[in-house]
């Protein structure tokens, strides 16, 4: 399945010149998607090669909006890829760039360790007003593997429509902030409650937290369990109008350098 775009869910209309330049760029190597947009004013959202020092080159999906490029580090939309994976899979990346994938913790570290990044989380659910919401944080980076890919996140943008389920408590979730948490997987738990094993998927769990975007994909979105936050969840949009739990239908995590002011 081709990744959803958001925030407007539309691709820019491609002129022959844009299409020709995009075809040329398809085989070029870029540092990240911001470099794609800076190098080519005709660039449109799509798949590009990125070549980051210290890691194997790979393809990534780029969201290009208003002349700015966001590197998609995670995409989920149909449950076709299993996200309940061990440490090394999350380290190196897995999935299909034209559908569901995790770009790899080592890539995320290399893209953020020496510069502040923005992270935008775009979510879809039938219970979200308008069908889609986003949460933007203006400070994001992760440490290296020896740190447990420790998360540093903050600067939630209050104009976001998806709420803050990483650094503050919500009506239903009173657990600690994810800021400062190490990454956990089912074979390397770096949290006190074995959350990756209990809830499925690798994530920066504080305890078992107010978010887990790598949780089990639930077709249809309905969650029956009352005692665990199962599914692909972001607590501030997790419950519907009736207070019942609903897993997200689709989600995308994307980053870009904070010094790129075009949004």
Return the CATH number at 252: 3.90.215.10
Nearest Cα to 104, choosing from 154, 134, 59, 37?
59
Contacts of 97 (CB under 8 A, 6+ apart): 47, 58, 59, 60, 61
Tell me whether residue 166 is in a domain.
yes
The dihedral built from the CA positions of residue 68, 253, 33 and 100, taken in this order, carries a sign that is negative
Tell me whether residue 138 is in a domain.
yes
158 in Cβ contact with 31 (< 8 Å): no
Q: For the chain, what is the mean pLDDT?
A: 87
**% of the chain surpassing 90 pLDDT:** 62
Tokens 């949004």 correspond to 263
Residue 137: pLDDT over 80: yes
Tell me whether residue 9 is in a domain.
no
Residue 134 — very low, low, confident or very high, per pLDDT cuts 50/70/90?
Answer: very high
Range of the domain at 20: 16-257
Residue 225 — very low, low, confident or very high, per pLDDT cuts 50/70/90?
Answer: low
* Total number of domains constituting the chain: 1
pLDDT of residue 8: 46
Please give the Cα distance from 259 to 249 (Å, whole number).
31
Tell me whether residue 4 is in a domain.
no
How does pLDDT run across 10-57, given as a tens digit for each residue?
A: 444 555 545 555 555 556 789 999 999 999 888 999 999 999 988 989
State pTM to two decimals.
0.88
Residue 244 CA: distances (Å) to CA of 13, 37, 45, 131, 231: 39, 41, 35, 17, 13
Range from 124-128, 140-144, 213-217, 238-242 carrying the lowest mean pLDDT: 238-242
How does pLDDT run across 160-202, given as a tens digit for each residue?
A: 999 999 998 766 677 788 999 999 999 999 999 999 999 999 9
Tell me whether residue 5 is in a domain.
no
Segment 227-239 mean pLDDT:
81
Nearest Cα to 111, choosing from 166, 51, 189, 168?
51
62 in Cβ contact with 73 (< 8 Å): no
pLDDT of residue 242: 61
Tell me whether residue 98 is in a domain.
yes
- DSSP-based three-state secondary structure for 237: helix
């Amino acid at each position: 399945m081709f990744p959803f775009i958001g925030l407007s869910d539309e691709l820019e209309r491609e002129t022959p010149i844009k299409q020709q330049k995009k075809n040329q760029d398809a085989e070029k190597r870029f540092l990240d998607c911001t470099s794609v947009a800076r190098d080519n004013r005709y660039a449109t959202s799509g798949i590009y090669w990125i070549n980051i020092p210290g890691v194997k080159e790979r393809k990534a999906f780029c969201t290009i909006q208003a002349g700015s490029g966001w590197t998609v580090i995670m995409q989920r939309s149909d449950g076709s890829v299993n996200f309940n994976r061990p440490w090394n899979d999350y380290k190196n990346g897995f999935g299909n760039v034209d559908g569901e994938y995790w770009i790899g913790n080592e890539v995320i570290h290399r893209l953020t360790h020496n510069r502040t990044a923005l992270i935008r989380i775009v979510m879809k659910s039938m219970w979200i007003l308008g069908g889609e919401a986003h949460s933007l944080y203006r400070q994001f980076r992760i440490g290296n593997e020896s740190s447990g890919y420790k998360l540093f996140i903050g600067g939630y943008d209050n104009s976001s429509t998806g709420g803050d389920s990483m650094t503050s408590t919500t009506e239903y979730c009173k657990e600690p902030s994810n800021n400062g948490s190490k990454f956990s997987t089912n074979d390397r738990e770096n949290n006190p409650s074995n959350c990756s094993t209990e809830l499925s998927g690798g994530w920066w769990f504080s305890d078992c937290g107010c978010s887990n975007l790598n949780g089990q994909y639930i077709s249809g979105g309905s969650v029956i369990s009352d005692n665990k936050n199962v599914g692909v969840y972001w607590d501030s949009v997790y419950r519907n109008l009736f207070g019942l739990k609903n897993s997200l239908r689709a989600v995308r995590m994307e980053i870009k350098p904070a010094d790129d002011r075009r949004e």
